């Protein structure tokens, strides 16, 4: 008996390739959205972690700890697009002195998002009990693409030093979104 080996014809292969190309082109926008959403969640998680670690450091070391943006990693700036630093600051002067230790730093990828800090002071300080010094505040995460309203986040730091994450409600108007999240 002869066995007949039969392969796929050129037209069948072209048909399968066409179907695969159509499916891939339809799924690309969804995949790009999933990747952007994961980047946002990772960044917000990193921000929350650096705030919580600054608070923990203040309690464990029994001293004031400052979290702030800094272009030179020595003194605090008011520009929250600069890398963030955490350091012990017993003299409350918002800069890393010779006897103070730079404990952590966090640099966001350029162009990923804008951070906006809302508080009475342009920095965040924790005292040795883990409370913020004199004020609470909120750190807003604003995506570069302002149309992605589901990517807005606000890290709210209470006077007791606790952090909670707030996000916009579904269907929120752009005016209300700007009012609530200030992006």
pLDDT in tens, 31-66: 777 887 888 888 899 999 999 999 999 999 999 999
pLDDT class of 89 with cuts at 50, 70, 90: very high
pLDDT class of 180 with cuts at 50, 70, 90: low
The DSSP annotation for the chain comes to: ---------HHHHHHHHHHHHHHHHHHHHHHHHHHHHHHHHHHHHHHHHHHHHHHHHHHHHTS-EEEEE-SSSSB--S-TTSPEEEEE-TT--SB--TTS-EEEEE-PPTTSEEEEEESSSSSEEE-TTS-BSS--EEEEEEESSTT-GGG-EEEEE-TTS-EEEE-PPTT--HHHHHHHH--
Q: What angle (nearest 5°) sits at the alpha carbon of residue 62, between those of residues 57 and 63?
A: 80
What CATH architecture applies to the domain 57-181?
Answer: 3-Layer(bab) Sandwich (3.55)
Can you tell me the distance from the alpha carbon of 102 to that of 96, in angstroms, rounded to the nearest whole number? 7
pLDDT of residue 3: 62
CB neighbour list of residue 130: distance below 8 Å, 6 or more residues apart = 55, 56, 58, 59, 160, 161
- Which pTM value belongs to this model? 0.79
pLDDT in tens, 124-141: 999 999 999 877 888 888
When the pLDDT of each residue in the chain is averaged and rounded to a whole number, the result is 84
């Amino acid at each position: 008996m002869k066995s007949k080996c039969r392969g796929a014809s050129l037209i069948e292969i072209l048909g399968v390739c066409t179907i695969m190309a159509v499916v891939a082109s339809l799924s690309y926008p969804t995949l790009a959205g999933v990747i952007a959403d994961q980047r946002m969640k990772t960044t917000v998680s990193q921000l929350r972690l650096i705030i919580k670690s600054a608070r923990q450091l203040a309690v464990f070391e029994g001293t004031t700890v400052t979290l702030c943006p800094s272009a030179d990693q020595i003194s605090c700036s008011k520009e929250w697009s600069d890398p963030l630093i955490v350091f012990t600051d017993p003299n409350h002067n918002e800069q890393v002195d010779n006897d103070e230790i730079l404990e952590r730093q966090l640099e966001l990828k350029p162009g990923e998002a804008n951070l906006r800090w809302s508080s009475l002071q342009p920095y965040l300080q924790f005292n040795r009990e883990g409370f913020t010094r004199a004020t609470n505040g909120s750190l807003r995460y604003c995506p570069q693409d302002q149309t992605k309203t589901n990517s807005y986040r606000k890290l709210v730091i209470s006077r007791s030093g606790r952090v909670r994450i707030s996000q916009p409600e579904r269907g929120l108007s752009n005016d209300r979104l700007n009012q609530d999240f200030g992006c």
